[in-house]
A and B are shown apart, each in its own frame.
Chain A
């Protein structure tokens, strides 16, 4: 790389840094290049001696705050009412995205350019901080003291936070950028329409979670207290879905390992492709249709019903329901399976199977009925 190429690339990477600071940074590095050349080093070597531009950007502006691109009204500190802001972050050095919300919704969507845009509404009592660098961290803060009722105190005066302020963080991420994303919100909803990520981990208190069309190279982990979850057309290495009281609806999910855990929510799954699938539920119902599970399926429920229909031969299945019924439709001939069924008070309807069957299926209930059928191959 020549000095000129280096300068142009560095300027490009620093375009979100205030102009005088960017100039100071560029001049600092150019000075070192020229000093090395003066000492007899050739130009390319002098540039190479500085290390990678990624490192330069990371260390020199890594701790600086991203600059809001819009609305730089000087009197804003004292202005009243909500202010929409767009924080712009150079996506280059960012590896992790972290969102810490409290009451607002969080939305992820593809960016229209190569930068990360964070859209928020700030106002009296609420501001956001957005860091640039390796970690892009978005943190909401209440500038006044706030009590649980939503009031906050400023100079001893009680004020109410405008309901249009701090109610949504909308983040645009460049389509090809692979990030490890963590998002937390207590009472807000989460939704994502981005196509790719290294990993996505979401926790909400009572907000709903809605994810569509995402391929995660690593883990997809979604967790909510009382919110509902709807996940459509997603792929991941490992996928984990947890709710306490909310319902879970999964459509077109592909992953190596899938786990679903609920206390009282219902779970409805269609078009699931997984090597291993396991679910643990307390009182909700489980409905699975069009599932391709290659190796292992484990389902346990305390009082919910299970209705499972498979589209591929199963190697190993274990179904336990204490008070609920188990209805299972397997793929293949009955001779393909070894069955083991047990109930204390329920009725059992299950084919005889064969001792030489490749797949093993075990069903256990206390009070529930067991019904197993095999669909013949066409």
Chain B
């Protein structure tokens, strides 16, 4: 898959996982693994990017004697998902057209 396209989809998939509630690195990977394959080394730059663009916020919670970073989706992050879905309506229309043409 085209790297930029893949990156865009991964960003939104991570945001989507956070709409189910605040989450942390390993849980995000587990939650989206049935749909999207993702490793820690891919997730880290995504979370950093989402954080720096204001789509997620980060807070730290103590968990069994250690610290765990939680990510929460912001209003801006939810808007990103909506933008993505709108854009993809156009993409899907084009997809249907291309697919239909190839009978």
Interface residues of A (CB under 8 A from B): 25, 27-29, 31-32, 34-36, 38, 50-51, 55-56, 58-60, 63
Contact = CB atoms under 8 A, between A and B. Distances in A.
Interface string B10-46: 0000000000000011110100000000011110110
Nearest to A60: B44
A223 B16 CA distance: 52
B66 interface: yes
Given A27-B69, A31-B68, A31-B69, A36 B45 contact: no
B64 interface: yes
Contacts of A35: 24-27, 68
Contact of A51 (B25, B41, B69): B41
B64 A28 contact: no
Given A28-B40, A31-B24, A38 B64 contact: yes
A207 B82 CA distance: 55
B68 A59 contact: no
A28 B69 contact: yes
A51 B41 CA distance: 8
Contacts of B45: 59-60, 63
Contacts, number: 48
A58 B67 CA distance: 25
A32 B26 contact: yes
B41 A55 contact: yes
Contacts of A60: 41, 44-45
Nearest to B42: A59
A56 B24 contact: no
Nearest to B29: A32
Nearest to A38: B64
B27 to A, nearest CB: 8
Contacts of B69: 27-28, 31
A56 B40 contact: yes
Given A27-B69, A34-B66, A59-B45, A51 B24 contact: no
Contacts of A51: 39-41
Contact of A32 (B40, B64, B67): B40
Contact of A28 (B25, B39, B42): B25
A50 B39 contact: yes
7 nearest CB pairs, A to B: A35-B26, A59-B41, A56-B41, A32-B26, A60-B44, A55-B41, A32-B40
Contacts of B39: 50-51, 55
Contacts of A32: 25-26, 29, 40
A28 B41 CA distance: 10
B36 to A, nearest CB: 16
A25 B40 contact: no
Contacts of A28: 25, 40, 44, 69
A20 to B, nearest CB: 13
Contacts of A29: 40, 44
- Give the one of B26, B39, B64 with max A CB within 10 A: B26
